[in-house]
A and B are shown apart, each in its own frame.
Chain A
Amino acid sequence: MDLTPSDEQRLLRESADRFVAETFTADHRKTAANDPLGFSPAIWKRFAELGWLALPISEADGGLGGGAIEVGILMEAFGRGLVSEPFLSTVVIGAALVAECGTEAQKQAILPKVAEGALYLAFAHSERAARFDLAHVEATATRTADGWRLNGSKIAVLDGAAANQIIVSAEIANANGASGKLGLFVVAAGTPGLSLRDYARLGGGRGCSLDLKDVQLPADALLGDGSDALPAIEAVVDRAMAALGAEAVGIMQTLLDTTLEYTRMRKQFGRPLSANQVIRHRLADMAMQVDEARSMALRAALMADAAPLQRSRAASGAKAKIGKCARFVAEQSVQLHGAMGVTEELDIGAYFKRLLAFDTLFGGSAYHYRRHATLSGRMQD
């Protein structure tokens, strides 16, 4: 039992914190907000040079073989700077799906390119009717003479417009219709039949919805051998939630630090706001919730490779709890900044919105407490 970071992990934290603090300034964020990509390819190159894009990819696939803890360290730093580069979409989710499901040839074709920063990936899975149920997929994939035909609609595709390749989930149809098995298909940007509606994402970055109308794909577009991809999707999304939890901790810590500073400085009734007990106790509660969130993100990361039931309970527990803490910390940060907190003139609002987006992604607190209760045998599915 040892929760002290290794020397490598400490160094990673230091370099990530430093890079983020120097690069992701408030001015940078304003520029990025108007960027059609939603991020800077030049910075992405730097990520590659720093080895961050290769970090969680296995050594066999051209990566550095890091795990969920290392990803969490990076994500927490990214949260502090509200980084909008598509690290989650490309590395944490996209590359992980390829690593989990892909054939040797597919891994070799995709993963080294991700590691060197030459390929952006996105994951198109959510559908309107599914809400947050990962097993609910209505998009279909039908075998054709020389490959596959995809039909369906996806929403909340993170960084889809920037992606060179989008990994699309669809139910594999067999002779009798639905097979009940999910497949993951690699769809290159610009494939005929694929249409995208790109939008600015709440809290920074881009998202899109996606329609697939008779999209024709080669046979090797299917990742792996056609066995059900749902377990892999669940594993990758559980780990993505752990990573997002770490990012949320970085955001919350920044909000707490900023709010502390503000309440010390701002004077009303002839004394700093922080001299008032009602304010001090609110700040104490915020600090406590940031700390609980930190514990839960760490826990989810430490259990990222546990048996599926344990892993999913930890991930849902973390998502639910961190979501609840995030809402409290975000709302109180705005509250304690007074009217200024409700304007675009301070950074508070940007951090607030990123936390709101975090709470929604892959399901909010209510959904994940329910998933936790179901996985714990307390509730029926």
Chain B
Amino acid sequence: MDLTFSAEERAFEQEVRDFISANLTPEMKRATALTPSVFSDPDIGMAWQRALHRKGWGAPGWPVEHGGPDWTPAQRWIFEAECARAGVPNVNVMGVKMVGPVIIGFGSPEQKNFYLPRILSGEDYWCQGYSEPGSGSDLASLKTRAVRDGDDYVINGTKIWTTHAHHANRMFALVRTNDGERQQDGISFLLIDMKTPGITTRPILTIGGDHEVNQVFFDDVRVPVANRVGEEGKGWTYGKYLLEFERGSGIASAKLREALKTISDLAASDVTGRAIDDPDIALRMSEVEVDIDALEMTELRVLSALQTGQNPGAVSSLIKLRVSEIRQAVTRLGVDVIGNDGLVVEPARPFYKLNHEPVIPEELLPVVPEYLNGRAYTIFGGSSEIQREIIAKMVLGL
């Protein structure tokens, strides 16, 4: 066992660094650092996606025949780690990491030919229609209904917490096509054009003051049956497949380490009156760093298992839980580090396009909104309570 990378992997690391330094503009970097929501807005995120696509790196996890780069797990690790270190934009994952794998796994040849290239190029921007006002953790109880009418489904209902619905031109959604015996039965997976008449979007501001999520209403919206992925009534299976991508497949430790470094640099600077001199802050910083060390090691164990063709098994289901908790610890530390400057509310967005001089140094602006918005980490993608239930069931066999 060892932690060192091979000569080829080192060479790849250099290639990634060269690519980033040639393509990551100072504007993109600044905008990313000043974004307190989970994902970068499309003006920044899609610019980066296009650069990745030009290089052939638009979809690291996809099979080669659909435009994936055919990386080994170690190469993916290196890529993610370098991207985190450099502070590249957080590309909205709904296309590449979520609907993409579902279309690849279950879509028709026509769907693959049409949608996949548009995801890669950034021409399409996707949002996810899963949660509903009455269906959060109990997602399978969803009520948005699609009734067959000739070659169309007619959809009525509403979706909520829809990230970037106000930017997206497409949505993948779980809708009820039948009332089965189990509530999981009778759900279908549809691809919806957001310009279809009858769709309206209402913004929801998060407690950090950001507009990232929305509620989407469907009022007699006609969607061609040809836009259904896979079989009617099997949507739950496809949707769960996707949720596994949402939960487990990421490499988070490098980003968390970078986020801690940002806070750590602030704590050591005069801007915060050297918050690091407070021993409580210093100790908590070490505590969080050690938690990141443990997470990184767990991620490397998973990676190593994948590398040798083994199933990493149970360990990956622990990762989502820890990642969300550690993120929250980092953002909480940030609030404590900036002290009184955390009292300043700057309502204008985005922070990288302010028309006025902010009251506090601009690098401090996202700290409190990041903490506030970050409370969502233990809620979305299956709340921590749901994750613990999954661990009890799947890992401990209870």
Interface 1/0 per residue, B275-305 and A, CB below 8 Å: 0100100110111011101110110110111
Q: Does B307 contact A (CB under 8 A)?
A: yes
Residue in A closest to B3 when the chains form the complex, CB atoms: A302
Q: Which residue of B lies closest to A275 (CB)?
A: B398
A299 to B1, CA, bound (A): 11
A288 & B398 in contact (Cβ 8 Å cutoff): no
| B residues in contact with A370, CB < 8 Å | 283, 286
CA–CA, A260 and B391, complex, Å:
13
- Provide the residues of chain B in CB contact with A287, threshold 8 Å: 318, 391, 395-396
Q: A264 — which chain B residues lie within 8 A by C-beta?
A: 398
Give chain A residues whose Cβ lies under 8 Å from the Cβ of B304: 1-4
Interface class of chain B by DSSP: helix
Whether A298 contacts B286 by the Cβ 8 Å rule is no
**What is the CB-to-nearest-CB distance from A197 to chain B, in angstroms, rounded to a whole number?**
36
Known: A1-B4, A1-B9. A295 touches B297 (CB 8 A): yes
Q: Are A284 and B297 in contact (CB under 8 A)?
A: no
Q: B interface, how many residues as a size bin?
A: 35 or more
Q: Is the CB of B290 within 8 A of A281?
A: no
Q: How far is the CA of A263 from the CA of B392 in the complex (A)?
A: 12
Contact A317 B290, CB 8 Å, known A1-B303, A284-B392, A295-B298:
yes
Q: Which residues of B contact A379 (CB under 8 A)?
A: 279, 282-283
Give the CA-CA distance A378 to B307 in the complex, in Å.
36
A296 to B291, CA, bound (A): 9
Bound Cα distance A130, B322 (Å): 36
Tell me if B289 and A376 are in contact (CB < 8 A). Answer: yes
Within 8 A of A (CB), among B384-398: 385, 387-389, 391-392, 395-396, 398
Number of A residues whose C-beta is below 8 Å from B? 39
Interface contact B283-A3, CB-CB below 8 Å: no
Q: Which of A1-45 contact B (CB under 8 A)?
A: 1-6, 9
- In the complex, whether A100 has a CB less than 8 A from a CB of chain B is no
Q: Are B276 and A378 in contact (CB under 8 A)?
A: yes
Distance in Å: Cβ of A294 to nearest Cβ of chain B: 8
Nearest-CB residue, chain B, relative to A72: B1
Cα–Cα, bound, A277→B141 (Å): 21
Q: Is the CB of A5 within 8 A of B389?
A: no
- With contacts A3-B301, A274-B398, A284-B395 taken as known, whether A9 is within 8 angstroms of B1 at the C-beta atoms is yes
Flag whether B5 is at the interface (Cβ < 8 A): yes
State whether B5 touches A1 (Cβ < 8 A): yes
Asked whether, in the complex, the Cβ of B285 is within 8 Å of the Cβ of A373, the reply is yes
Chain A proximity of B5: nearest CB distance (Å):
5
B355 at the interface (CB under 8 A from A): no
Whether A321 is near chain B, meaning CB under 8 Å from some CB there, is yes
Contacts of B385 in A (CB 8 A): 281
CB pair A280 B392 closer than 8 Å: yes
Question: A234 interface residue, CB < 8 Å from B?
Answer: no
The reply to whether A317 and B301 contact each other, CB–CB distance below 8 Å, is no
B395 & A376 in contact (Cβ 8 Å cutoff): no
Asked if A283 is at the interface of the complex by the 8 Å CB criterion, the answer is yes
Would you call B392 and A281 a contact (CB within 8 A)? yes
Most buried by A among B285, B286, B321, B387: B286
Contact of B301 with A295 in the complex, beta carbons under 8 Å: yes
B1, B276, B293, B396: the one within 8 Å of A2 (CB): B1
CB distance from A326 to the nearest CB of B (A): 13
- A69–B395 Cα distance when bound, in Å, is 26
Question: Counting CB contacts under 8 A, is B315 at the interface?
Answer: yes
Residues of A within 8 A of B2 (CB): 1-2, 302
Q: Is B308 an interface residue (CB 8 A)?
A: yes
Cα(A378)–Cα(B395), bound, Å: 38
Chain A residues with a Cβ under 8 A of chain B: 1-6, 9, 69, 260, 263-264, 274, 277, 280-281, 283-285, 287-288, 291-292, 295-296, 298-299, 302-303, 314, 317, 320-321, 369-370, 372-373, 376, 378-379
16 pairs from A and B in contact (CB 8 Å cutoff): A2-B2, A2-B304, A2-B307, A3-B300, A3-B301, A3-B304, A260-B398, A280-B392, A288-B321, A302-B2, A302-B3, A317-B290, A320-B290, A369-B286, A370-B286, A379-B283
Known contacts A299-B293, A321-B290; can you find 4 more A-B pairs with CB under 8 A? A1-B307, A287-B395, A378-B285, A379-B283
